[in-house]
Amino acid sequence: MNRSEFNQGLKGGLIIALSSAPFAVLFGAVASDNGLSVMEAGLMSATVYAGASQLVGIELFGHQVAPWLIVLSVFAVNFRHILYSAALTRYIAHFTPVQKFFTFFVLTDPQFAEAVKRGESGRGVGFPWYIGFGAAIYFPWLFFSVVGAFFGRMMGDPRALAIDVLLPVYFLGLVIGFRRKPGFYPVVVASALGSVLGYHFVGSPWHVSIGAAVGVVVAAFLPLSTESVPANTATEMES
């Protein structure tokens, strides 16, 4: 295990853990508000480990929706991960099967964004870095959801504390981090239009998959960019 790489991962992950802590608390609070026990909220954070879909699932638990529909909704919200794992494959080809299991188990939005950033920079995505980054987010996420479930009813209105704007603002930050990539603006405009129209005409959570599909299809039809990805070849040589 490469110590310094692991520590680098931990450090990067801690920033995400800090900014996602309010959402974990919020999730715990909403979960207990919808009738989940502290242990059930903890189990969900430990096994599903996907913020937005946990909140969607919780919302449906409270509405007596058929179980298969809840599972399908969670699948729909998380559908983007199929694209993530496909896009990540080139950087982690050298991992062992067990390492790959953990890699995909902790594959979240920030984990993916940072791994791609690291892969593109040519530093290579090592397992110690990746799992350090993941662990630094996973355990605080679990801890703060349980804390939120415990203290849920004591917390005031999340709106008054402006907790609710943190999630979209955070995702906005991730998006503008990609603004120098070729085709960024057409893709973002297409995806924004697709998701807003999808939200109005089909409804949540399908707007996520619809918007993403529109953006990705537009990217496929854009003129081919000549930009080479050096990390790509580096990873292939390593494996």
Partner 1 sequence: MTDLISVDMALLILAAAAATFLTRIGGYVLITRMTTIPPRMEQALNAVPAAVLTTLVAPAFFNGGWDVKIAMLAALVVGVRYPGLLLLGAGWAAAMICRHLLGF
Instruction: Show contacts with partner 1 in window 159-198 (CB under 8 A).
Output: 159-160, 162, 164-179, 181, 183-184, 187-188, 190-196, 198
Give the residue from 22, 21, 93, 30 showing the smallest Cα distance to 60: 30
Instruction: Using only the alpha carbons of the chain, give its radius of gyration.
Output: 19
Q: Scan residues 70-89 and list those touching partner 1 (CB under 8 A).
A: 70-72, 74-75, 78-89
Q: Scan residues 105-164 and list those touching partner 1 (CB under 8 A).
A: 105, 107, 109, 112-113, 116, 159-160, 162, 164
Those residues whose C-beta lies under 8 Å from the C-beta of residue 40, and which sit 6 or more positions away, are 31
- Cα–Cα distance between 239 and 230 in angstroms, integer? 15
Question: What are 148's two structure tokens?
Answer: 């939120």
- Cα–Cα distance between 141 and 15 in angstroms, integer? 12
- Are 160 and 38 spatial neighbours (Cβ–Cβ below 8 Å)? no
CB of 30 to partner 1, least distance (A): 15
Q: Is 97 in the site for partner 1 (CB under 8 A)?
A: no
How far the first Cα of the chain sits from its last, in Å, is: 17
Nearer to partner 1 by Cβ, of 67 and 98: the residue is: 67
Nearer to partner 1 by Cβ, of 117 and 123: the residue is: 117
Question: What are 63's two structure tokens?
Answer: 């509405």
Q: What are phi and psi of 203, to 5 degrees?
A: 110, 165
Q: Scan residues 203-222 and list those touching partner 1 (CB under 8 A).
A: 204, 207-208, 210-212, 214-222
- Cα–Cα distance between 113 and 115 in angstroms, integer? 6
CB of 165 to partner 1, least distance (A): 4
Nearer to partner 1 by Cβ, of 3 and 118: the residue is: 118
Nearer to partner 1 by Cβ, of 10 and 88: the residue is: 88
Nearer to partner 1 by Cβ, of 5 and 109: the residue is: 109
Counting residues that bind partner 1 (by CB under 8 A) gives 95
Q: Scan residues 1-30 and list those touching partner 1 (CB under 8 A).
A: 15, 19
Nearer to partner 1 by Cβ, of 3 and 221: the residue is: 221
